[in-house]
Structure 1
Amino acid sequence: MQDMSHHHGHGDCNDESHHHDHHHDLPEGVGPRDNLFTRIDRDNVIALNAQDPGKGPEVIKPWDQRLDEDKYLESDADDQLIIRVPFTGAVKLRALLLKTGPGHQSPAKVSIFIEYNNLEHVDFPTISDLKPVQEFDVAQGRDIGEYHVMPAKFSNVTSVTLFFPESQGADTTRVYYVGFIGTFSGERKGQPIITVYESRPNIADHPKITETLPNMQR
């Protein structure tokens, strides 16, 4: 199977050209060199405002399942979605890989945060006010989008938080696959601190639907 991946340069993708890369020289299941799938702490991947928050780890798929559309995350109360991905140690990131959609369910943007932004207790009001380390426009399509980050800003990363602030017109946002390209620097020392996040969205935290609160049945 060949995979056609959209490549995006630094920053806003509107200013970047797209080209396709055929990974035909790679055995199926191996993926591109420096795929960090085995370095992701999948059990502790967390999704906020997802219809099924427990499915957060399911979008962290091995390379040979990257095009699978049976498992996905879909936003719940509105079209905002947060996915927090911890690694088993420090990594140097080069690119984010995404498969989203279909169509208008594709996120309009993805904002990338890393741990030094004090996101241990992240929520929607907080993250909406923070400046991301890097942000990309997300293209519609059934391919894997490859978004190249600025290496100097992602040289010693132990967790990444992805914020999808809105869809491209649909009521919900859907994500099928999240992956990363980079190199592993070393094992994490000690046990990670696991923060308990909201398992169901707090309606008041999602401004797009707060106007419906007076009419909601309690």
Structure 2
Amino acid sequence: MSDHHHHHGGGGHCQGEHDHSNDITPALQSLLYSQIDFDSITTLNEATEKGGAAIVQKTWAERLNDKPELESDADEQLLMYIPFTGQVKLHSLLLYTAPTAAAPKTVKLFKNRDDLDFSTASELSPTQTIEVPQPVAGADVFELPLNRAHWNTTTSVTLFFEDNWTDGEDDVTKVGYIGFKGQFMALNREPVSFLYEAAANPNDHVSIPGLNDIGSRVMPGQ
């Protein structure tokens, strides 16, 4: 995993002439921020109500801000349900945490499950498991690639933060920013509308008896 970290940490330094603002445009092209259903996000074991939703609602420009920050409550585990407004194809998970041992270490991701609790999340096989690199001072967001074949037709993601880098010494996990990269797929009503028109056009509405005139349907005897 260290190689993964050095790749991301080093990437910013290799392009010394760039600052973070120059990196915003390519990232925004595939950010799924506007496709997240923020009002329906739920987080179990969060220390502050809506703390999970707050860090997902951070914009890309706010990703490195200290606050808001999601903290776990009773122990180090967090379970976040994040729905989208339609179907998406996920490419990567974006994650930022302050460079402390409270940063998450293992994240299990479940696709299209709105019924998980800590017990079921611990028992079920996840769609994918990610080992998150330990953050260091000055690091930007980790872009953690997902297996794209597993993340087509995704309507929600549940993130199970299983442990952190304290190795059991501290029962608080902290997360500063969560985002997603991928492709947004059209809502159902768009292809349905298209299919209806495609089916109707060959018949040229007028040639369908009784359908070219609303009155003929309401009063068939007239």
What TM-score, normalized by structure 2, do the two folds share? 0.71
Task: Give the distance between the partners of 2:118 and 2:150, measured in 1 at CA.
Answer: 23
Choose from 66, 71, 88 the match for 1:69. Answer: 66
- What does residue 50 of structure 1 align with? 46
Structure 1 letter corresponding to 2:36? I
Task: Give the distance between the partners of 2:41 and 2:62, measured in 1 at CA.
Answer: 18
**How far did residue 53 of structure 1 move?**
3.1
- What does residue 82 of structure 1 align with? 79
* 2:35 paired with 1:39: yes
* 2:131 paired with 1:137: yes
* 2:2 paired with 1:19: no
Q: How does 1:147-162 map to 2 (within 5 A)?
A: 147-162=144-159
Task: Give the distance between the partners of 1:37 and 1:171, measured in 2 at CA.
Answer: 30
- What does residue 178 of structure 1 align with? 178
- What does residue 9 of structure 1 align with? none
SS at match of 1:35: coil
Choose from 88, 104, 107 the match for 1:107. Answer: 104
Kept after mapping to 2: 8 A contact 1:100/1:140: no
Task: Give the distance between the partners of 1:148 and 1:40, measured in 2 at CA.
Answer: 19
Kept after mapping to 2: 8 A contact 1:73/1:175: yes
**How far did residue 120 of structure 1 move?**
2.2
SS at match of 2:182: strand
Bigger strand share: 1
SS at match of 1:19: helix
Report sequence identity in percent.
Answer: 38
Kept after mapping to 2: 8 A contact 1:29/1:62: no
Larger radius of gyration: 2
SS at match of 1:57: helix
Kept after mapping to 2: 8 A contact 1:31/1:64: no
Bigger helix share: 2
Q: How many residues align?
A: 174
Q: Provide the aligned C-alpha RMSD in A.
A: 2.2
Task: Give the distance between the partners of 1:56 and 1:179, measured in 2 at CA.
Answer: 12
SS at match of 2:86: strand
Task: Give the distance between the partners of 1:188 and 1:59, measured in 2 at CA.
Answer: 29
**How far did residue 52 of structure 1 move?**
1.3
Task: Give the distance between the partners of 1:49 and 1:31, measured in 2 at CA.
Answer: 34
* 2:125 paired with 1:128: no
Task: Give the distance between the partners of 1:72 and 1:101, measured in 2 at CA.
Answer: 9
